[in-house]
Structure 1
């Protein structure tokens, strides 16, 4: 072929290719647009999954930090001869709760469609599994949900520890913890959070004023009644002998740690962070939680000044905690003012119920019964003031049902433990202190060396 014809052919081919470029470009653009359109919904779902999972994990480790708060609060409010025992109980109960909630508790609490007794008892002796690929449709990872829910279970047991301090042996308490965290708490919590009969009835408890705090309070009350008071706490004449704690600095630190952990306790109970509305809700919950705690502390401070002519730090600390428990059943719907007055009544409860328990000779070393049980009742009953679709009657029925179940079941377990292995140390051991008598290890050994 001669050169002019060859050049003409190349020119024609180039022109054809150039002319087709816009078509190819349009096709490529269309293909890319379709790919983005197809990927967009998946990206939205993935982002929600990631943010929801992150909320569970952050909330979970904040609630975990409450275990340290309970340990420090109790270590500060017991006498120095019993500090090591309280620290031992707290790390042991958290560890036991972790194992029992995995072995039986989680699927007992969240049975899905596999109820043993529909609406009342979930799957028995079914260990939780978190393996396999993530199920994006659930909206969060199975591991994060298990981790978060476990923290609530452990919190319930921590409440019992403080009430029964200074006069209960270690192993009976830990056996009770096995029953509480493996069976009692998961059963009653399944009635609401597991889709059980209370949920169907319209009961509302956002983060656990009843399901966690009052439930632990009822278990503690049952134990205190069966166990009896500390030696020398009450005289035959009806006088109350104060038994000051060993370290109010530790007790104050513990309260601040609990206050911090409560942001995860309430905030992550929104259970979602994948939308603007959820993020806004979590921020409201944080703010309301803080205001309720602050109000409870201030009210307790003022009332202790009025009633005792001096500010009582232990009452202020428990006032803050009672404010936190009070807002826990409904932390999203109230205004900031609503959170203030709800939490403030929690502070009043502490100042009223603590001396009332002493009149009945119920020895509650750290004040857990007024803080968790009674303020838990108040918080549960306050929900209908701000939350649509709830009623005072249904709230009371739910609280009463859980209270009766936890109290009766706990009484039975405590009585069995008392009859079989005994609950209390000997008088000599109690006077010496459980650190030396049971553990042989003192928290403050330098104080006892001559």
Structure 2
């Protein structure tokens, strides 16, 4: 039994030794696996670099597109402000919106988007002081705001300053509601308080009505279109589905906000002035006043015409009476002349008699 067991074990070891490869074959197999792993590592690295490059390209394209849309918003501001002001100040308002473009020399992508954003803040002030400042004055203000005021606010918030970590919570501003709009609004309020209202704005409000409604509507739609670059573009990237979903949510909120505000203002305007547009009421009142004025002028012209006709009839009647009385006047004139001659003769005779009497008395 023991002999059989030993023989079986010997046969098993022999079979195992025969089935195993030689050390040279094992080395070659290990080298082949190492080369395969190295090739796979290079392919993985190349794929990672390609993915990162594509992500960077998508982010760059996204920011450039959004920055261009924000830039286009200035065209909307220009049309909106120009249509709302008087025609004589339209060129001045357009010039102020062009001054906001500044002089950005940087080619960095973030600078392009931020440049478009701070231009937006300066344009807010342009609407607040429209028709009250000259172009050189506004150009100087735009330079001061974009060079000293806006950068400080950005450094305090988006730049990781003291507001970014205040109260252990930090100031959060996704698309610039405070950094851009609040800063521009405060500067515009300061300018409005210093400058005061336009001359005659409340004494003769009809003279300050907007002169071009189609331009206002086009500017509004241009601004609405540009908001889809300003708000969703604040995600600053578009390389994964999370950022895409966030940008889509921001775009949806932008659409709902614009639609809700438009309907609210529409209904509020009707509730306050009983008209969908305040200008339509002013236009109706102006036309009614013009019709009343025209009626009064027509009535006065009719009275004047009647008076002229009466005067003409009186003049004709007087001329007719004068022609009929002309012979009588000629006879009375001759009689008066004869009486005057007789009176002069009697006076001459009286003088002679007195002279003769005086001579007789002297004799």
TM-score (norm 1): 0.52
Does 1:39 pair with 2:84? no
Structure 2 Cα separation of the partners of residues 28 and 204 of structure 1: 51
Measure, in 1, the Cα distance between the counterparts of 2:272 and 2:238.
Answer: 45
2:92 corresponds to 1:85: yes
1:156–1:216 CA contact under 8 A, matched in 2: yes
Aligned residue in 1 for 2:251: 286
- Aligned counterpart, 1:67: 74
Q: Partner residue of 2:218? A: 253
**1:207 corresponds to which residue?**
175
- Residue in structure 1 matched with residue 26 of structure 2 by the alignment: none
CA positional deviation for 1:26: 6.8
Q: Deviations over 1:197-216 (max 9, x none)?
A: 11112111111111111111
Q: Are residues 1:305 and 2:270 paired?
A: yes
SS of 1:88 mapped into structure 2: helix
Aligned 8 A contact 2:73 2:226 in 1: yes
Structure-2 separation of matches of 1:313 and 1:72: 20
**Aligned pairs for 1:111-190 within 5 A:** 130=107, 143-190=108-155
Q: Deviations over 1:181-209 (max 9, x none)?
A: 11111111211111111111211111111
- Equivalent runs, 1:394-433 vs 2, <5 Å: none
Return the alpha-carbon distance in structure 2 between the equivalents of residues 313 and 32 of structure 1: 74
Seen in structure 2, the aligned counterparts of structure 1 residues 313 and 37 have a Cα distance that, compared at 3 Å, is: farther
Measure the CA separation in 1 of the matches of 2:278 and 2:98. Answer: 26
Equivalent position of 1:421 in the other structure: none
> Number of residues paired by the alignment?
249
* 1:224 to 2:192 alignment: yes
Q: For 1:416-446, what per-residue CA distance to the aligned partner results, in whole angstroms no more than 9, with x for missing partners? A: xxxxxxxxxxxxxxxxxxxxxxxxxxxxxxx
1:106-127 C-alpha deviation (Å, 9 max, x unpaired): xxxxxxxxxxxxxxxxxxxxxx
* SS in structure 2 at match of 1:264: helix
Could you tell me which residue of structure 2 aligns to residue 296 of structure 1? 261
1:30 Cα shift?
A: 4.5
Map of 1:264-279 to 2, 5 A cutoff? 264-279=229-244
Distance in 2 (CA, whole Å) between partners of 1:228 and 1:288 is 36
Alignment correspondent of 1:122: none
After superposition, the Cα gap between the structure-2 partners of 1:242 and 1:296, relative to the gap in structure 1 and judged at 3 Å, is farther
Alignment partners' CA distance in 2, 1:48 and 1:217: 36
Equivalent positions of 1:340-351 (< 5 A) are: none
Residue matched to 2:209 = 244
Match of 1:231, SS?
Answer: coil
Q: 1:44 offset after TM fit, Å?
A: 2.5
Bigger-Rg structure (1/2): 2
Higher percent of residues as helix: 2
Greater Cα shift, 27-36 or 81-90: 27-36
The Cα shift of 1:76 comes to 0.5
Render the CA deviation track for 1:63-101: whole Å, top value 9, x for unaligned: 00001011000111001111011111111221x2x34xx
State how far apart, in whole Å, the 2-side matches of 1:31 and 1:270 are.
Answer: 38
2:268 and 2:206 map into 1 onto residues whose CA distance is 21
Using the TM superposition, give the Cα deviation of residue 32 of structure 1 relative to its aligned residue in structure 2, in angstroms: 3.5
Gaps of 5+ in 1: 1-21, 103-128, 131-142, 315-450
Aligned residue for 1:193, secondary structure, equals coil
1:316-349 Cα distance to aligned partner (Å, 9 max, x none): xxxxxxxxxxxxxxxxxxxxxxxxxxxxxxxxxx
Three-state SS of the structure 2 residue aligned to 1:233 is: coil
